[in-house]
């Protein structure tokens, strides 16, 4: 069974540019989560999809971040325009239910210069 | 609000010795507790979880963790460390009946030497 995949693995962009991160969850997992780890600190929750619906977006830092999950399969996280403080590692995770463990992807390392 | 504390940035242990990575948590309701490991250039890998039941939970690669409700702790343990266990370990918590988002600690780097 394929795990959670994320693309790209690494992105370097300039301040003010736009970046789109993609996550493909494990097949059949309705729950999809985005997290990020900034500057070696703790991993922080961004948002949670159940199928195509946003269940919880309390962790989204501001309106420069837009997440979508059209069709309830893969998800994208767009940062527009990117700021220096957006640099970090963005993780995606999926689970088969609300009371199951979350399986994480390898992460996308975003560097904003 | 829920929180996790991992008081040690790094733990050093010799191969063959037992290891403990500490974690304490705070959550309003009953906790779900998790340990994840991150090897270099890899994603987070699920190790084990506590949901309910036996306080000693066994997981992958010989790791186990002990849930202690009175001390609100969930320390990760292994009887005999391997050099290949060297990695970054994260403890996480969520409220059993609350939102399913995980709250993580800052991580503990485990260094196992020969």
pLDDT of A36-68, one tens digit each?
999 878 899 999 999 999 999 999 999 999 999
Measure in Å the smallest separation between the Cα of B98 and chain A Cα atoms: 10
The residue in chain A having the minimum alpha-carbon distance to the alpha carbon of residue B34 is: A101
**How many domains does the structure of chain B reveal?**
1
Q: Which residues of chain B have pLDDT under 50?
A: none
A83-99, pLDDT tens digit by residue? Answer: 999 999 999 999 998 88
Q: A1: pLDDT confidence band, cut at 50, 70 and 90?
A: low
Rounded to 5°, angle at Cα A45 from B69 and B28: 30
- Domain of B20 in residue numbering reads as 3-113
Instruction: Tell me if the domain spanning A5-104 has CATH number 1.10.530.10.
Output: no
Of residues A101, A73, A78, the one with CA closest to residue A90: A78
Phi (first) and psi of residue B60, to 5 degrees: -75, 155
Locate the domains of chain A by residue range.
5-104
Whichever domain contains B90, its CATH number is 2.60.40.10
Instruction: State residue A40's pLDDT score.
Output: 77
Of A6, A45, A106, the CB nearest to B102: A45
B47-63, pLDDT tens digit by residue? Answer: 999 998 889 999 999 99
Going by their DSSP bridges, the two strands A10-13 and A108-112 should be labelled as parallel
Instruction: State residue A70's pLDDT score.
Output: 85
């Amino acid at each position: 069974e394929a795990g959670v995949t994320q693309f790209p693995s690494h992105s370097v962009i300039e301040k003010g540019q736009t970046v789109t991160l993609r996550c493909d969850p494990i097949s059949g997992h309705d729950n999809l989560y985005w997290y990020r780890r900034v500057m070696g600190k703790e991993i922080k929750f961004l948002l949670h999809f159940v199928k195509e619906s946003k269940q919880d977006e309390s962790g989204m830092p501001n309106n420069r971040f837009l997440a979508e999950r059209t069709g309830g399969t893969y998800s994208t996280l767009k940062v527009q325009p990117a700021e220096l403080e957006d640099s970090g590692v963005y993780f995606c995770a999926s689970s088969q239910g609300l009371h199951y463990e979350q399986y994480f992807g390898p992460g996308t390392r975003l560097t904003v210069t | 609000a829920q929180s996790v504390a991992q008081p040690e940035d790094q733990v050093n242990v010799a191969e063959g010795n037992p290891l403990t990575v500490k974690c304490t948590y705070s959550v309003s309701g009953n906790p779900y507790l998790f340990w994840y490991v991150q090897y270099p250039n890899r994603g987070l890998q699920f190790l084990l979880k506590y949901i309910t039941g036996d306080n000693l939970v066994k997981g992958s690669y010989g790791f186990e963790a002990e849930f202690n409700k009175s001390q609100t702790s969930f320390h990760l343990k292994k009887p005999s460390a391997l050099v290949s266990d060297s990695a970054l370990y994260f403890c996480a918590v969520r409220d059993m009946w609350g939102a399913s988002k995980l709250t993580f600690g800052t991580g503990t780097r485990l260094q196992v030497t020969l």
